[in-house]
Amino acid sequence: MKKGIDFLKAYEKPGRPKELSRIFKVGMFVIVIFYCLLSAAVFSFWVSLKKEHQEVNRQIEAKKSQISKLKKRESLQILLKQRLSSLIKLWSLKEKNFPRLLSFFLEISSEGADISEVKISSGGTLTVKGIAANAFSLGRFLEKITSNEAANIFSKITLTSVTRQKDGSYNFNLSLTYEKS
């Protein structure tokens, strides 16, 4: 038997390249697991932030609706205070025909023309400011205010001004002289 020497075969140190290969594979596995865990954590955080964002938006909308309701309530309270102050001025009259005057104003203001302000002077003159929704409502109001019933209450009725607004409504001012009988 002939023994030959193979010069092409490299000499391997026992275990060194296999160890490096195994360490490299384990390291890459640890890095991939770490990356997956980090990705899962970021995704979970993003989902929780999105849910919190939706909750905050829902709470904001609820607060906005509460604020709008409170604004509406406040405007109604202001309007009520204005109307009550007008009534207080009317109640301060010490006239015996006051109930008839009040019922007359309530009756004519329910016909599409609203009385917004009534000023009473000590001489028996009433200044009335109001708003009519349209020309037809203003015409009906003026017919009512010049009716026979109004002639029994007021001695002189004067339309001092009428202005048409952009929305088609009319602002008007009247001067009425009240009979104190």
55: its two tokens: 């909750």
Q: What is the mean pLDDT of the segment spanning 18-34?
A: 89
CB 119 within 8 A of CB 130: no
Q: Residue 66 has what pLDDT? A: 92
Distances from the Cα of 167 to the Cα of 113, 134, 164, 171, angstroms:
15, 9, 8, 11
Half-sphere exposure of 62 (CA within 13 A, CB side): 6
Q: Residue 96 has what pLDDT? A: 46
Half-sphere exposure of 174 (CA within 13 A, CB side): 24
- pLDDT bin (cut points 50, 70, 90) of residue 153 is confident
Positive or negative, the CA dihedral 95, 99, 103, 109 is: positive
Beta bridge partners of 156: 177
Q: Residue 28 has what pLDDT? A: 94
Q: Residue 107 has what pLDDT? A: 72
Q: Residue 97 has what pLDDT? A: 57
For the chain, percent of residues with pLDDT exceeding 90: 29
The alpha carbon of 116 is separated from its chain's Cα centroid by a whole number of angstroms, namely 24
Beta bridge partners of 174: 128, 159
Q: Pick 45 or 153 by higher pLDDT.
A: 45
- pLDDT bin (cut points 50, 70, 90) of residue 48 is very high
Tens of pLDDT, residues 57-116: 999 999 999 999 889 888 888 888 887 777 666 665 555 456 667 677 777 776 678 888
Tens of pLDDT, residues 29-43: 999 999 999 999 999
Half-sphere exposure of 35 (CA within 13 A, CB side): 6
Q: Residue 76 has what pLDDT? A: 85
Using DSSP, state whether 116 is helix, strand or coil.
strand
Q: Residue 133 has what pLDDT? A: 85
Tens of pLDDT, residues 117-139: 877 776 778 888 888 888 888 88
8 has a pLDDT exceeding 70: no
Closest Cα to residue 172, out of 125, 98, 109, 88?
A: 109
Positive or negative, the CA dihedral 116, 120, 124, 127 is: negative
15 has a pLDDT exceeding 70: no
